[in-house]
């Protein structure tokens, strides 16, 4: 079981898969005689703390389901990218069940089923891929490669409460009121983004279509909602990509909010942050927004700069 355990956030913050969703799917599998285990490789916090705060530990203890960090990497090759370090525990599991959260994402626009399997890449290796696949389409293709390697048999999207705005950790909670289920996350993501009218903006959806990995699918039920996209998706981008590249958002440190925990400095793949001076070197910054994602104080603001 691969929930979204991105950080040590309480279920009420809607940044992680809700423990009730996890419990429900686990109970179903246990009832069918399956021997599941739950794992993730949180990008920004200690695994023990993450499973405690997200209340995933509580569910696993109660149901006597093993809980494990996704470590112990094996190097595998994707269709486009080579030498991707994925946890042996994922590769050796009989089947993978994917439990993503419905959220916006400052870099990829949305994080749904396909992006969730990026958590099967071990530890800090995740940050280093931002340097190896700097371009957003390249990064989306990396996510597609990883998802195809992990190849979950089922995806259950937790969208009862999700996140809009500058997700995946510092956006605003929103009640979308949906649980979406599919055997194929490419189809699921495509359907959700099409319902929202943003399929042309979401990098994983666009590139999955381009690579023809999204199957023909049929939708049972319907979904209707508005969503506020990340501020990194400019109004111009929605209409003209050519024009939009002149108006991009860069991270900026809000010095009053910053507590100098140095998490952003440690995780910045481009070594562009100097927290002792609370400065960002924009010559080095690749606009991956990892700093914004990891900041526990929401002290990284995304500000427009004309380049």
Contact residues for ligand SF4, defined by CB under 6 A: 251, 253, 258-264, 268-270, 272-273, 275, 280, 285-291, 294-295, 297, 299-300
68: nearest Cα among 103, 92, 34, 104: 92
| Beta carbon nearer to ligand SF4, 45 or 155 | 45
Q: Are 144 and 151 in contact (CB under 8 A)?
A: no
| Cα distances (Å, whole numbers) of residue 208 to 121, 166, 188, 229 | 20, 23, 12, 20
CA atoms within 13 A on the CB side of 62: 12
| Beta carbon nearer to ligand SF4, 213 or 275 | 275
State how far the Cα of 284 lies from the Cα of 131, in Å rounded to an integer. 11
| Beta carbon nearer to ligand SF4, 184 or 232 | 232
Min dist CB 53 to ligand SF4, Å, is: 17
Min dist CB 32 to ligand SF4, Å, is: 42
Residue with tokens 């500000």: 303
Min dist CB 193 to ligand SF4, Å, is: 24
Min dist CB 45 to ligand SF4, Å, is: 12
Min dist CB 259 to ligand SF4, Å, is: 5
| Beta carbon nearer to ligand SF4, 118 or 176 | 118
Non-local (6+) Cβ contacts of 183 within 8 A are 153, 154, 155
| Beta carbon nearer to ligand SF4, 120 or 272 | 272
Is the Cα torsion angle 132, 193, 251, 42 positive or negative in sign? Answer: negative
| Beta carbon nearer to ligand SF4, 175 or 298 | 298
State how far the Cα of 91 lies from the Cα of 111, in Å rounded to an integer. 22
Min dist CB 301 to ligand SF4, Å, is: 10
State how far the Cα of 267 lies from the Cα of 126, in Å rounded to an integer. 10
State how far the Cα of 131 lies from the Cα of 139, in Å rounded to an integer. 9
């Amino acid at each position: 079981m691969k929930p979204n355990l991105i950080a040590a956030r309480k279920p009420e913050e809607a940044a992680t898969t809700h423990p009730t969703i996890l419990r429900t799917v686990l109970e179903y599998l246990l009832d069918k005689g399956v021997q599941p285990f739950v794992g993730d490789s949180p990008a920004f916090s200690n695994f023990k703390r993450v499973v405690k705060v997200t209340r995933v530990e509580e569910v696993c203890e109660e149901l006597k389901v093993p809980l494990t960090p996704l470590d112990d990497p094996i190097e595998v090759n994707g269709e486009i990218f080579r030498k991707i370090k994925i946890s042996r525990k994922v590769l050796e599991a009989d089947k993978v069940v994917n439990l993503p959260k419905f959220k916006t994402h400052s870099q990829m626009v949305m994080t749904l089923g396909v992006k969730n399997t990026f958590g099967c890449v071990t530890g800090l290796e995740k940050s280093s891929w931002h340097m190896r696949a700097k371009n957003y389409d390249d990064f989306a293709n990396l996510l597609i490669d990883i998802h195809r390697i992990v190849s979950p048999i089922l995806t259950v999207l937790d969208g009862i409460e999700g996140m809009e705005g500058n997700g995946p950790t510092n956006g605003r909670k929103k009640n979308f009121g949906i649980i979406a289920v599919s055997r194929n996350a490419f189809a699921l993501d495509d359907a959700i983004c099409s319902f929202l009218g943003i399929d042309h903006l979401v990098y994983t959806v666009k590139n999955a279509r381009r690579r023809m990995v999204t199957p023909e699918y049929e939708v049972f039920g319907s979904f209707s909602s508005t969503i506020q996209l990340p501020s990194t998706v400019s109004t111009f981008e929605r209409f003209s990509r050519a024009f939009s590249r002149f108006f991009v958002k860069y991270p900026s440190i809000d010095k009053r909010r910053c507590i100098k925990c140095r998490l952003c400095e440690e995780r910045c793949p481009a070594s562009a942050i100097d927290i002792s001076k609370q400065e960002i070197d924009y010559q080095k910054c690749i606009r991956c927004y990892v700093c914004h994602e990891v900041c526990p104080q929401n002290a990284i603001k995304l500000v427009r700069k004309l380049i």
